[in-house]
Amino acid sequence: MYSIFTSMKVFSDHWVGHPSLNKYGLHRKRLKVAQAISNFRRAQTVRVRDAHEQRLMDDGFVAIENFLPDAEFAALRDECHAAAEAAETANPPPEKPEVMGFGDSDRHDWGFDRFDGSTLNRFINPGPIAAAFPRNGRFKRLARLVCGKTMSARRNWLYQTINGDEREFHDQQREFHRDTFFNCMKYWYFIDPVTEDDGPFVYVPGSHKLTPERMAWEEKKAEAAVEARVEWERRTAAGESSPTRAGMTGSFRIEEEEFAEMDLPEPQAYPVPGNTLVVANVFGFHRRGDAVPGTRRLSLYGNHRPQPFIPIGS
């Protein structure tokens, strides 16, 4: 039963997707306890002190322009451009994936490539200036406001996305979803401007809040995931070859028309200039924006997902 008390989210897990336990409210209980612990950790570590931090708390998202002083930004930008160019020289980006869906990582000396449908993700080892970014005091406060814990500097990459043709290979990251069942953070510190054509981040303000309407939606999605698990077990027992695990994911998808049912506002896209920090609580609904094939984004990126049931903040 250990997995119930961890960040495990997929319903193919024996305990997280257990039909009887979910019948008695397992998913609801994990959500409520994780939210309470996140609030408790936050109270130990940080208090809101400015308008940007308040917006992060209210909307689940904030974009802070001119985040670094000009001289610091210029040095970081030059380092990141040099690293991206070196990676491209060593290994030119592949034009398209070989399979549908999320691809495997293709490792290189400088990092790795991975396709999400048509979108190529290049995760490039950060240089010394980029590697130091998560130690920025202002950034650390934002991470604590979301999770109640400091983000590890090791979970930081130089991240380039190269947009492909959606008509050929669908990118599931362009579907609205929430990442997992508890408060967690992703950030993008954009080195270059992001226009509407480049696939800007899209977020539903306020969707990070566990309202009664959101809880009802979560329970409905959990029920469907458990039903998919039961069907998978039935097909496996019947000896069917390679029965699908579709539907058992813990990153629940949502259709736009469902937002109104939860009294949520319209999604907002966020094109931004360079030197902009974007921080999002990805318990809220979000997606990668639509893009023109061949366009690119370059940013520092990190995923901050501390264990949800540890009550000690840091």
**Over residues 48-72, mean pLDDT:** 97
Lowest mean pLDDT among 21-35, 96-110, 161-175, 249-263: 96-110
| Cα 42-212-201 angle, rounded to 5 deg | 60
The pLDDT, as a whole number, for residue 99 is 65
pLDDT-wise least confident of 90-104, 119-133, 222-236, 256-270: 90-104
pLDDT digits (tens, 9 = 90+) for 63-117: 999 999 999 999 999 999 999 999 999 999 998 776 666 778 899 999 999 999 9
CA distances from 170 to 118, 203, 267, 279 (A): 6, 20, 20, 25
- 19: three-class secondary structure by DSSP: helix
Mean pLDDT of 149-162: 91
Distance in angstroms (rounded) separating the CA atoms of residues 70 and 102: 37
89 neighbors 103 (Cβ within 8 angstroms): no
CA distance 55 to 62: 6
pLDDT more than 90, % of the chain: 84
Mean pLDDT of 122-148: 96
Note the pLDDT of residue 17.
Answer: 92
How do residues 158-193 score in pLDDT, each as one tens digit?
999 999 998 888 899 999 999 999 999 999 999 999
pLDDT tens digits along 9-18: 999 999 999 9
Q: What is the pLDDT of residue 167?
A: 85
The structure's pTM equals 0.94
- Residues 223-252 have a mean pLDDT of 82
- What are the C-alpha distances in Å from 122 to residues 86, 161, 163, 267? 12, 6, 11, 27
Q: What is residue 242's predicted lDDT score, i.e. its pLDDT? A: 59
The domains located in the chain, with CATH, are 51-207+269-309 (2.60.120.620), 212-262 (no CATH)
Q: What is the pLDDT of residue 240?
A: 73
Inter-CA distances, 154 with 76, 135, 146, 185, 186, Å: 18, 11, 18, 15, 14
Per DSSP, 238 falls in state T
- Pairing relationship of beta strands 156-162 and 119-124 according to DSSP bridges: antiparallel
H/E segment holding residue 16: none
pLDDT at 244 over 80: no
For 213-223, how does the pLDDT look when each residue is reduced to its tens digit (9 = 90+)?
A: 999 999 999 99
Indicate if the pLDDT at residue 230 is higher than 90: no
**Mean of the per-residue pLDDT values of the chain:** 93
How many other CB atoms are found less than 10 A from the CB of residue 306?
Answer: 23
CB neighbours of 292 closer than 8 A, spacing ≥ 6?
A: 163, 197, 198
